[in-house]
Structure 1
C-alpha cells in the first residue's frame, strides 16, 4: 500500500495512545499462543517497526505503524498464527521501506524471521511494475510454499488489510488492486483453506469494481435481516431440540451467503434478488472426540432430513474425502417447511473441522498428527505446483504459468486410485492422460490409453471420484500438440509443452531465418525486438517462439509479411496525423502527453472521452461497448492505441490485474454530444403485436435508432437482442424502464 509523508498539524500524543492501545490488544489476543521469551521479542519487533516507520503515513493520513499492527492482528486472530508470524507481520515492510538491513533483522530475531521477511520483501511492490513483473512476483510467492507457507499467509493478511482500507486510494489504484486481489489472492486464500478471508476478499473486490451492485445487495440484505433471522430461528428450532435430546454438545449458526456469492447467483441465473431462495446457510458444529466425528455428523444428517426433505443432487461428503486444502464438512440442501418453502444449505461438521475451514492450514498444523489423508491431498497439489515452478523457466512465460496455477486454485477435485489402491488427487475435469503424468512423466509421455474400472478408455476420458485407473504405454508413443486440448493439470501441460518445445526447436530456428530473410527483401532490417513484438501482436502469437514456429511449420505464409508491412505503414500515417506523434506504449508516456494537452487541470492524467477524439487516439472496446456515464478505464494497447473499457467488462479483471501498468484513468465529458451502441436482451411471454409495441417504444416514443434486431421464440417464451444508439447511461435507463412497461416483457438487461 502506498505511503506518503504529511506535514500536517496532528495530535501526536493522542496518536501515541492509540498506537499503544492497538499494540496491547494484539498482545492480549496473542497471549494463548506465546511461550518463553516470545512477548519480549514481539515488543522488540514492535519498537523497531514503530521507530522505522515513525515519519510515514498512509494515504488516509493515519500513522503507517497502524498497518503492520493490523496485519499482525489478522495473523493471530483470523488465521491463528503464532509468535514468529506476529514478529514478521510487524516488520514486513521495514527492509523494503526503511534503512534497516536484513542482516540486522537476523541479528535481533534469528534466521527464521529473517528468511520470512526476505520472502515478503521479494513479493512486495506488485502494483508498480508491468504485467510480466507482476506474474514473476506471484511466481516468487508460490516458490515460498516450499520454504515456509507462513510467507503467503502473512502476505494474505497484508492484502486483506489493504483491501479493508482501500477507500483512501485513488479510483484507478482501487481498480488495479481489487482486480489483482480477485484474480490471484482470493483463489489462493481458497486453496489454503482460509474460507472467511476468501469470502471477505471477494466481497471487497466487488465493492470497488462494481460498487452499485455491491450496495444494492448489501441494502437488500439489511432490509430483509429481521425476516431472515426469524426464518432461521424457526428452521433451526426442531434441529436444536433433537440435538439436545441426543446429548450432543453443539453450536448452530445461521448466516446469509456472502454478497459476492449472491451477486454470482443473480448474474448466473439471471434471477431477481427476491426470487433467490437459497440465500441461507445453517451450520451445525459438534463438539465431539475425533474418533466419533464421522458417525456423529452422519447421525445429525439423518436427523435433519427427518425434518426437511433433502435435494439428492446437493449432498456433498467432504468428510470421507477431504478437499486438498484441508476442508472437511458434510453439506446437504433441504427444503424448509411452512407456507413458502425455501432451499437451505445445512453444513454439518465438528469443532476441529470448523476451525480448519475458517483458518485453513494454520489450524490444520494443529491437528495434522491426527489425520494423514489431508496431508496427502495437499502434498499432491503442492507437488504439482513445485513441478510447474521448477520447469516454468524452460517451458513458459511467467504470465502463462500464473494462469495455469490460478486455474488450479479454485477447482474442485476428483479422488481416484491406482490398481494397488494408492489415492491420487486431481483437479475436477482431469483425464486419463492427466493421471498418467501424475504417476510419472515417462508414463504420461508413452501412454496410449487406460483401463478405468477394467474398461478400456481413450486418453481424453474424464475421470470420476472412485475410479481405479491402469495406464497402458508403448515405447513408440510420443506426446502430441493435440494432447494440450484436453489435459487440465499443470503438471501434464508443463510436461507436454516440454516435449513439444524440444521437438520443435528446429522449426523455431528455421522460421526465424525465413522471416528475417523476407523482411530484408521488404527493406526492414535488422529484426529488432520492437519489430518482433509488432509481428507477434499482429499475428496474435503468444511469444516470439510461437511466432517463428508458426512460420517454420507453414501455418503462417511468408507472403503475409507483405500485408503486415502495408498495414503497419497505414497505421503509422494515421498516427502522424494525430497531435501525439510517439506511439503510446505505457501510462507514463500517455500521462505526459495528456499533461501537455490539459496543462495543470484536475484531469490531466486521464482521458476526457468525447473531447480529446482529435488529440488522443482512443476507441471504445467492442467487448463491453461503454456508453457515457459508465464507470470506465483506459487501456493502452500495443498496436491499437487506447481502448476504453467498462469496469464491469468481462475482460476487466484480467486487464487490470495482469497489465496494471497499462491502465489509465478515463473521464466522461458532457460538452460533446455523442452516440453509443448499447446492446439489450429482452425476454418475456410471446403475444400478437409484441415486437411492434417494442419497436414503437424505441423508435417513435423515445426517438432511438435501432441498429440491429434479432428475436427467437420457443414454446411461448421469446428472447430478443437489440443493438441501438443511446447518448448516455441515463438515456439507456429511461429506455429500459419504458420497455419493461410493455405488456409481455418480463425483463430487460444490458449485454456485455
Structure 2
C-alpha cells in the first residue's frame, strides 16, 4: 500500500537490500535493513510511508531534550525490530503518538494502513480527553483501556512496553522532578510487572533499574558503586568459577553451548536486602552463572553433575522446566557452595538455547507473524490476561481495578494441584479461597471449606508448593466479608468486593423502600413505583431501585421524595419546631452515611459524627490498606489490614468498617502539617555517636523523631523503637533506607504490633 507522499532527498535501498528496491528516507536505512534481515516478506515501502506520515504530523514538535519528536517513535520502532516484531507492530510504533498528539485521526490511520494497524494504534493511544480530577483515576482508566486492547492482541502491550522503555531511557531530560517521579512509580508498579508477565526479562530489568534510580537515587548509586568495586576486584574470580563449571560439565560428557557469569541488577539486590533485612555485604549470591546446553535432557545431566561436584544450598533448587512459569519461562535453578575461592556461594541457571531466547524476549521471541502461523488471538494462552479482564468486570471503580490488578501482577508463585492433577499457579501467600477463585469464580463464591493434601484446613491457610487442594462447596453458599482480609489475588478480591457491594446495595434498597412506603402511608398518598418513576430523575437517580438505595443510605430524604411527588404537601405542612432547650447548642447533622468532613481526617467511608483514632499497635500511614474497628463507647480505631490485632475481632465481622485514605484530602493538606507517626525498630552498635548517627539519618530524609525508647541494651548493641513523623508509607520507606545506609546501624525494619 503506497500513500502517494512526495519523496524528496530520499536515499537508495538500505545496505543488504537489492539494488532494484525503491528509495527510502535516509533516517530509516538502519531500521529497514534490520527488518529485512529477519523478515524477507516485509513491505518496507509501507513502513517508509508510516514514517513519512509520522514525520509530517510531528514536524513542529520537540521532545524534552530538544530533539525532534520523530526520534521517539523511530527509537520505539528500533526496539521492536531488535525483538524481530512483524511489520504491523513496527508501523504501529512509528504512528503510536500521532492520534494522541497530532491532528491525524484514527480513521486516517485505518484508511492508509488497514484495520489491523488501526486497532493496534488505538490500543496504544492514551485516553486524552478524560474529564477527571484525579491523576490516579486517569492512570487507572488508561490501564483499563490497555488491558482491553491487549486482551485482543498482545502486540499492543509489546509496543507499549517499547514506548515506555524509550521514555525511561530519556527520563533525565524531563525537568520537573515530580513528573519524573510519577513516571518512574508508574513504570515500577505497572509496566515492569507486565513485562515480566510476558517473559520480556531484559525489558523488565531495565525498566526496574531506571525507575529505581529515580525513586531511590541514594540507594541506587550506593549499590552501583559497590557493584563497580566488586566488578573490578572479582574478574579473576568469575573466570575461575566459569572454568571450574566448564570442567565439571566436560567430565560429565556434556557439550556445553555457553557458560557465563552475570551480576544481579541493582534493583534485584535492593529487593533482596529489604526482603531478608540484610546488608549488601551479607548477600551471598550477587553473582549468578548460566549454563546453556543443547537439549532438555542434558539440562538434568548438567544439574546432576553440578550437585555431585559441589555442596548444595538447601531450599534453593527450583525446576521451572517441568513446571514453567505462567509467562513461559523454563530453566533449572540451584545454589551451590564453591570451596575455592573462600567458600563462595553462587546461583546457577541451566537451560537450552530455546529456553534462553524465551527467558530474554518472552512472547516476542516467537511472535513473528510473517514467519509462522501465530495469531494475535493466541493471547488466550496467557491466563493472567483473562484474570485481568475478570477483575475489570468485577471492579466497581477505576482505582479499585488498578489496586486489584497490582495484586494480580506482583509476587512470586506457588504451584498447587486440583484432585484431578490440574496445575494452578498462584502468588506466594495465596490461600484456599484464592485457589477456589482461580479454578472458577462460581466455585470461589460457593466455597465453604478446603482439604489440603487430604486434611481439612482453615480457608486462610497459606498454600505451599505441591499442595493438592480440594475445594468444598455448598449450594447457596456466598462469600464471607472476612475473606477480603486474607486473600492475595486481585481476582478473588475483586469478586468478593463485588458481591459485598451488591449485598450492601440490596440491604440499602430494602431499607429505603420500607422507609419510603412508610412516609407515603403517613401522608395518605399513593407511593407506587409508577409515581416514583416520575420523580427519580429529579434526584438524579437512574431508576426506582437507585432511588430506594439513595434513601436507604441517607443521601435522599424520604419526606423530600414524598413532597417531590406531591408538591402541594409542602404548603399544608407546618414546620416542625424543636423545644428551645433541645435546640440549644445543636448543629445540623450530615446525611446518615455521608463521608465525614468536619474532623479534617483524610479518610473516606466514615459516617457523620464518628470520632476516630489511629491504632498504636500498627501505626497506619497513608499508602497502607486500612480498616476501621467499631468499639462501643470508643472512637473508631483505624488499623492496617495486616495488623495482627485484627485476629481478635475475626468472630465479629460486623465491627469492621470499610475505610480508605482520601487522596484528594491528603493532597490539599499543608505539607508542613501533614505528619503521621510511623514506628521503626532499630538495632545499632552500642558506641559513642550511635544515637547521633541515627537522628542525623532521620533528619536527612526529612523525618521528625517524636519518641525514642531503648528496649534492649547489651555491651555491643542496643535495640530501640523510634516514632517518626512522616508523610506516608513511601516517606517512611525512604527514612528506613537512609537509616540502613547510616554507619553503625545493623538492622532497621518497620515495627508492627
Alpha-carbon distance in structure 2 between the residues aligned to 1:439 and 1:697:
50
Give the deviation of 1:212 after TM superposition.
2.3
In structure 1, the residue matched to 2:245 is 239
Residues 1:234 and 1:121: Cα distance change in structure 2 (over 3 Å) = same
For CA contacts below 8 A with separation 6 or more, give which structure has more relative contact order.
1
CA contact (8 A) 2:35 2:42 kept: no
In structure 1, the residue matched to 2:194 is 188
Residues 1:43 and 1:243: Cα distance change in structure 2 (over 3 Å) = farther
Give the deviation of 1:466 after TM superposition.
2.8
Aligned residue pairs total 595
Q: Are 2:665 and 1:638 equivalent residues in the alignment?
A: yes
In structure 1, the residue matched to 2:228 is 222
Matches within 5 A, 1:507-656: 507-509=507-509, 510=511, 513=551, 515-516=554-555, 532=595, 534=597, 538=601, 540-541=603-604, 561-562=608-609, 637-638=664-665, 641-644=668-671
CA contact (8 A) 1:537 1:639 kept: no
SS at match of 1:224: helix
Give 1:144's match in structure 2, choosing from 145, 149, 155. Answer: 149
Residue-by-residue CA offset, 1:318-365 (whole Å, 9 max, x unaligned): 111000011111111122222522221111111111111111112244
SS at match of 1:416: strand
Residues 1:83 and 1:432: Cα distance change in structure 2 (over 3 Å) = same
Alpha-carbon distance in structure 1 between the residues aligned to 2:55 and 2:588:
59
Matches within 5 A, 1:422-441: 422-441=422-441
Alpha-carbon distance in structure 1 between the residues aligned to 2:721 and 2:672:
21
Give the deviation of 1:433 after TM superposition.
2.5
Alpha-carbon distance in structure 2 between the residues aligned to 1:490 and 1:698:
39
TM-score if structure 2 supplies the norm length? 0.69
In structure 1, the residue matched to 2:400 is 400
Alpha-carbon distance in structure 1 between the residues aligned to 2:503 and 2:364:
44
Q: Are 2:99 and 1:72 equivalent residues in the alignment?
A: no
Q: Are 2:58 and 1:53 equivalent residues in the alignment?
A: yes
In structure 1, the residue matched to 2:391 is 388
CA contact (8 A) 2:445 2:478 kept: yes
Residue-by-residue CA offset, 1:198-242 (whole Å, 9 max, x unaligned): 111111112112222222222222232222222110001021234
Residues 1:163 and 1:128: Cα distance change in structure 2 (over 3 Å) = farther
Residue-by-residue CA offset, 1:75-109 (whole Å, 9 max, x unaligned): 121x4322111111011111112222222211221
Residues 1:142 and 1:454: Cα distance change in structure 2 (over 3 Å) = same
Q: Are 2:140 and 1:135 equivalent residues in the alignment?
A: yes
Give the deviation of 1:448 after TM superposition.
1.9
Alpha-carbon distance in structure 2 between the residues aligned to 1:678 and 1:426:
32
Give the deviation of 1:264 after TM superposition.
2.5
CA contact (8 A) 2:200 2:361 kept: yes
Residues 1:525 and 1:117: Cα distance change in structure 2 (over 3 Å) = farther
TM-score if structure 1 supplies the norm length? 0.69
Q: Are 2:482 and 1:482 equivalent residues in the alignment?
A: yes
Give the deviation of 1:508 after TM superposition.
3.7
In structure 1, the residue matched to 2:711 is 712
Residues 1:166 and 1:536: Cα distance change in structure 2 (over 3 Å) = farther
Q: Are 2:288 and 1:281 equivalent residues in the alignment?
A: yes
Residues 1:562 and 1:474: Cα distance change in structure 2 (over 3 Å) = closer
Give the deviation of 1:195 after TM superposition.
0.9
In structure 1, the residue matched to 2:184 is 178
Residues 1:244 and 1:369: Cα distance change in structure 2 (over 3 Å) = farther
Q: Are 2:170 and 1:165 equivalent residues in the alignment?
A: yes
More helix by share: 1
Alpha-carbon distance in structure 2 between the residues aligned to 1:21 and 1:103:
28
Give the deviation of 1:257 after TM superposition.
0.6
In structure 2, the residue matched to 1:212 is 218
Residues 1:639 and 1:229: Cα distance change in structure 2 (over 3 Å) = closer
SS at match of 1:62: coil
CA contact (8 A) 1:243 1:250 kept: no
Alpha-carbon distance in structure 1 between the residues aligned to 2:167 and 2:422:
43
CA contact (8 A) 1:519 1:525 kept: no
Which consecutive residues of structure 1, in runs of 5 or more, have no partner in the other structure?
A: 1-11, 548-559, 568-634, 652-676, 726-731
Residue-by-residue CA offset, 1:585-641 (whole Å, 9 max, x unaligned): xxxxxxxxxxxxxxxxxxxxxxxxxxxxxxxxxxxxxxxxxxxxxxxxxx9841684
Give the deviation of 1:115 after TM superposition.
0.5
Alpha-carbon distance in structure 1 between the residues aligned to 2:748 and 2:414:
37
Alpha-carbon distance in structure 2 between the residues aligned to 1:498 and 1:698:
46
Alpha-carbon distance in structure 2 between the residues aligned to 1:155 and 1:693:
48
Residues 1:532 and 1:461: Cα distance change in structure 2 (over 3 Å) = closer
Residues 1:75 and 1:505: Cα distance change in structure 2 (over 3 Å) = same
Give the deviation of 1:118 after TM superposition.
0.9
CA contact (8 A) 1:451 1:457 kept: yes
Alpha-carbon distance in structure 2 between the residues aligned to 1:698 and 1:142:
46
- What's the RMSD between the two structures over aligned residues? 4.5
Q: Report the structure number with the largest CA radius of gyration.
A: 2
CA contact (8 A) 1:285 1:349 kept: yes
Residue-by-residue CA offset, 1:558-598 (whole Å, 9 max, x unaligned): xx73468x99xxxxxxxxxxxxxxxxxxxxxxxxxxxxxxx
Alpha-carbon distance in structure 1 between the residues aligned to 2:125 and 2:379:
30
Give the deviation of 1:24 after TM superposition.
1.8
SS at match of 2:206: helix
Residues 1:455 and 1:532: Cα distance change in structure 2 (over 3 Å) = closer
SS at match of 2:116: helix
Residues 1:166 and 1:302: Cα distance change in structure 2 (over 3 Å) = same
Q: Are 2:270 and 1:263 equivalent residues in the alignment?
A: yes
In structure 2, the residue matched to 1:579 is none
Which consecutive residues of structure 2, in runs of 5 or more, have no partner in the other structure?
A: 1-8, 15-23, 513-549, 561-575, 577-585, 614-661, 726-734
Residues 1:106 and 1:313: Cα distance change in structure 2 (over 3 Å) = same
Alpha-carbon distance in structure 1 between the residues aligned to 2:217 and 2:601:
36
Alpha-carbon distance in structure 2 between the residues aligned to 1:398 and 1:443:
26
Give 1:359's match in structure 2, choosing from 358, 361, 383. Answer: 361
In structure 2, the residue matched to 1:252 is 259
